[in-house]
Structure 1
Amino acid sequence: MRMEAWAQAAKEWAGARRRLRRTSAETSEPVCAFVYDLQGLKKHVSDTVGRLPAYCRMYYAMKANSDARLLTVIRPGVHGFEAASIGEVRKAREVDPDVPVIFGGPGKTDEELQQALRLGVERIHVESLHELRRLCYFADTLGLDITILLRINLPIELPQATLQMGGRATQFGMQESELHEAAAILAGQNRVRMAGFHLHNISNQLDAEAHLKLMEQYITWSRHQRELFGLSKIIVNAGGGIGVNYRQLDRQFDWYRFTEGLQRLGREHAEGVQLDFECGRYLTAFCGVYVTEVLDIKRNYNKAFAILRGGTQHFRLPVSWKHNHPFEVVPVESWPFPFPRPGIEHEKVTLVGQLCTPKDVFATDEPVRRLQCGDLVLFVLAGAYGWTISHHDFLSHPHPDMVYY
């Protein structure tokens, strides 16, 4: 994960874009773009997946970033894609008609279940007894076979979790107490084949040892359920959940330590188990930056604000996760106007966008050595949950450029 090198690609592009703006009336718009390092992405995916032991497989969670150019780069490095809507299934098949796709997420419509069957997805992750009954009905009606995993919300304590998907009351998965009823529904089915469990209790996990312990709990619990469903082998889908540290860039999830632990876990506990991951953020966050130009610098109630081109309608992640997003300033020396250039030195500044809401904030009270109008601000770790989760057309500002290196 060479963030410095990937950010350098954005600096080079932004510098070229800024120089072009000075020489062409057609490029007078301020700089604003997502810049992706495709070669860096390819290497990171290859290195990450290459360390997994033989009993593990990696699917890419498209929700993190479903840009077709990125999907094309990711595809050779992973077993398949994880989709959370039929729209994502179709995007996956546009990249590769034969790519294995697993389809999950709560609230699947009747149409989505039927389309998933017709499109031949590899598996469907079933979220409730009602969804299971509907899927069985549609499989029989259409005469199509499907493999499923049952998503279970396991009662596991996760004191270190910053974002919990399970282990407490959430909209995800079914209760452990519903397993016997699920087994009874499946007992008379010829078209729907139960293959294991989807267990995804935590998101944004940064502790490799804690995540290993969770994997052991998942595997141990799943093996105990095999007899109920008559399974000699079992698939355990551990979801994604591996986080990215936006606050301390040099303290990322220790993938080396985690995969070494998976090797031990496989030898000691994983006989007859296939362990699947569906990582998104961890695969793509490092390959993208959001670079944008400073439009104005002003003071309000003794606080400094820098207003940037764009806003959270482009890059919603910081306000969504309520963190100060890491950034660096790219100085621009030229100044085209005959009057003084607004700026600050050795001061804290709040970075905001152009939207008419006080929630349009990227970072609050962050110290900068120097920042001036016309400089560029480069937000790193923007390759996941940036453009894809943002409300693009709020206020109808222009969309950012998409640049691929």
Structure 2
Amino acid sequence: MEHWVRAAKEWIRSRSLPDARTGQPVCAFVYDLAGLRRHAAQTVEALPSFCHMYYAMKANSDKELLRVIRPHVRGFEAASIGEVRKALAVDSQVPVIFGGPGKTDEELREALQLGVERIHVESLHELRRLSYWSKELGREITVLLRVNLKVELPQATLQMGGRATQFGMEEADLDQAAALLSDSPHLRMAGFHLHSISNQLDAEAHLLLLECYIERAKAWNKLFRMEQITINAGGGIGVNYSDLERQFDWRLFTNGLRRLEKIHSLPDGPELRIDFECGRYLTAFCGVYATEVIDVKSNHGKTFAVVRGGTQHFRLPVSWRHNHPFDVLPVESWPYPYERPEAANYSITVVGQLCTPKDVFAEEVSVSRIRSGDIVLFALAGAYGWAISHHEFLSHPHPEMVYWKES
């Protein structure tokens, strides 16, 4: 994982840190654009031809990252009309698929007018509304029906299906959906959206889930009689924050997809297409949250490293309740005439500047040495970092956004 933080280290060294003492402490998201480009290309190139990759913008909709990713993916997946607009601002011709459980009439109308590629429909009521607005506006639109499967799901960090959630319709609703679609000439039924889990780290388990998706979709097609079935399997491909060297086995997974194609592609059956909308797996690795240690202190038997910034910049660790992986980059310069706070060979808790005890990045983690003025580099910060954080809480300065383009 060292190569993913190299860009951040090179940028920090280029800042001439001793001179930075008169300004704000270091605090930045550093994005390795060259690394992102390589990773996106290699990930998508490994997919078999019946599979397509969309980028889930919710993970990180920074326009510089979108520009790097765009040449390597089929299109973008948007979960709001705001994300649709961002996607089209990067490339006015990019295919956009539009999902999410709470689409307003205004969003449906604008999506139709902007010509999105597909809309993933979450309920019978949404299907009726989309049928109404497509007729009113005279716009045809391709749809997938999002179904909340009644199935035992493999373990993963988040579960959007297999139990009561706000996502998708029940399988029992498909009869009514088929009837509605038959009376909606502006809606083109293309398949099913079956994103059930997120942050899956087991490639074999994910292949078994995909096979379940395929079997269900083929059975449901008796109602719809499609010549091609599109299955949107969502994202769901995970990132391992606790063991950086044991990541999802993408090569094993894509080889398994080829086996599934051979098993389920029959000469007299419908053509099969699988779409993925990965976000975290594409961008997490390219980002580092770099932040300077302001203070090192002990309190009631625990040692704390207080850093510039906090979870208002990088909310993922507290949101997912994990210790986020980090390195300490030593900074030897210490221009002050008083003692430098430090902890050596000790367990520390890394916290931010916010006035809340929940502002924690990592708790009771052993370090060989950490000092005021050193830089903490949080790896795997390219997804669900800045994008999900409450930026204005306490009105602290925002971090720099650094786009490192060196190879």
TM range (shorter): over 0.9
Note the C-alpha offset of 1:12: 1.3
The answer to whether the 8 A contact 1:219-1:270 is kept is no
List aligned pairs for 1:4-403, cutoff 5 A: 4-17=2-15, 19=16, 21-23=17-19, 28-271=23-266, 272-403=271-402
Q: What is the percentage of aligned positions where both structures have the same residue?
A: 67
Shift of 1:6: 2.4
Task: Give the Å deviation of 1:159.
Answer: 4.3
**TM superposition shift of 1:161:** 2.5
- TM-score, with structure 2 as normaliser: 0.97
Contact 2:344 2:369 in 1 (8 A): yes
> Shift of residue 22 of structure 1?
2.8
Are 1:226 and 1:232, in contact at CA under 8 Å, matched by a contact in 2? no
**1:182 Cα deviation (Å)?**
0.6
Measured in 2, the distance between the counterparts of 1:340 and 1:6 equals 33
Q: Call closer, same or farther: CA 1:332–1:78 in 2, change over 3 Å.
A: same
**Equivalent pair of 1:153/1:167 in contact (CA under 8 Å):** yes
Cα deviation, residue 227, structure 1:
2.1
Compared CA separation, residues 330 and 92, structure 1 to 2 (3 A): same
CA distance in structure 1 between the partners assigned to 2:116 and 2:318 by the alignment: 34
SS at match of 2:42: helix
Question: Secondary structure of the equivalent of 1:337?
Answer: coil
For 1:83 and 1:270, locate their aligned partners in 2 and report how far apart those are by CA, in whole Å. 30
Quote the offset at 1:270 in angstroms: 3.9
Partner-residue secondary structure (3-state), 1:225: helix
Is the Cα contact below 8 Å between 2:194 and 2:213 reproduced in 1?
A: yes
List structure 1 segments (4+ residues) > 4 angstroms apart after TM superposition.
none
Secondary structure of the residue aligned to 2:275 is: strand
Deviations 1:232-273 (A, max 9, x none): 211000000000000011110000000000011111114511
Letter in 2 for 1:230: R
Give the distance between the partners of 1:395 and 1:250, measured in 2 at CA: 36
Matched residues in 1 for 2:189 and 2:33: separation?
A: 37
Task: Give distance in 2, aligned partners of 1:56 and 1:349.
Answer: 45
Alpha-carbon deviation of 1:24? 6.1
Secondary structure of the 1:160 match is coil
Q: Which amino acid aligns with 2:23?
A: S
TM-score calculated relative to the size of structure 1:
0.97
Q: Please provide the CA RMSD for this pair.
A: 1.0
Task: Decide whether the 8 Å contact of 2:154 with 2:205 is kept in 1.
Answer: no
Letter in structure 1 aligned against 2:169: M
Residue-by-residue CA offset, 1:203-241 (whole Å, 9 max, x unaligned): 000000000000011011101111201212110000000
Matches of 2:237 and 2:109 in 1, distance apart?
31
Quick one: structure 1 residues 274 and 159, their matched pair in 2 at CA, closer, same or farther if it must change by over 3 Å?
closer
Q: Distance in 2 between matches of 1:285 and 1:297?
A: 28
What are the superposed Cα offsets for residues 164-207 of structure 1, whole Å, 9 maximum, x if unpaired? 01000000000000000111111111101111000011100000
| Range with greater deviation from structure 2 (247-256 or 268-277) | 268-277
- AA in 2 matched with 1:235: T
Q: Distance in 2 between matches of 1:315 and 1:164?
A: 22
By how many angstroms is 1:4 displaced?
A: 1.6
**1:170–1:270 distance in 2 versus 1, CA, 3 Å:** farther
Q: Give the count of matched residue pairs.
A: 400
